[in-house]
Amino acid sequence: MKQEASFFEDREAVLVYIAKKLNEAKRLESVLTTAGLDYGVEADEYRGGVVFVTARIGAFFYVLPEAVAAAREIIERNGFKPYQEPAPKK
């Protein structure tokens, strides 16, 4: 279920998904709520594009560390691709 920022206040939230479109964000909110998973969502900036890289706004979905595995499984099972930290550049 969608939680306010105070739910994550003393804990480190983990980014599990970045929705780039509003309808995508709404669909994922519905999926996570139906699954009974506690999550937080906030608008933030990400970089997108290949040739012309621009700053864009997306919906960033967070869960607590103990819910990461379950969240990623739910996200994948419903046709979304979970966020993965990029590999460090060499």
Count of CB atoms situated within 10 Å of the CB of 61: 27
What would the pLDDT profile of 39-52 be if each residue is shown by its tens digit? 999 999 998 888 88
Q: What pLDDT shows up at residue 15?
A: 95
Domains of the chain: 5-77 (3.30.70)
Q: What pLDDT shows up at residue 70?
A: 97
DSSP 79: T
Q: Would you say residue 90 has pLDDT above 80? A: no
Q: Which of 20, 18, 9, 22 is nearest to 62 (CA)?
A: 18
Over residues 1-21, the mean pLDDT reads: 91
Give this prediction's pTM: 0.88
Question: What is the C-alpha separation between 41 and 62, in angstroms, rounded?
Answer: 6
What would the pLDDT profile of 15-30 be if each residue is shown by its tens digit? 999 999 999 999 999 9
Over residues 43-64, the mean pLDDT reads: 91
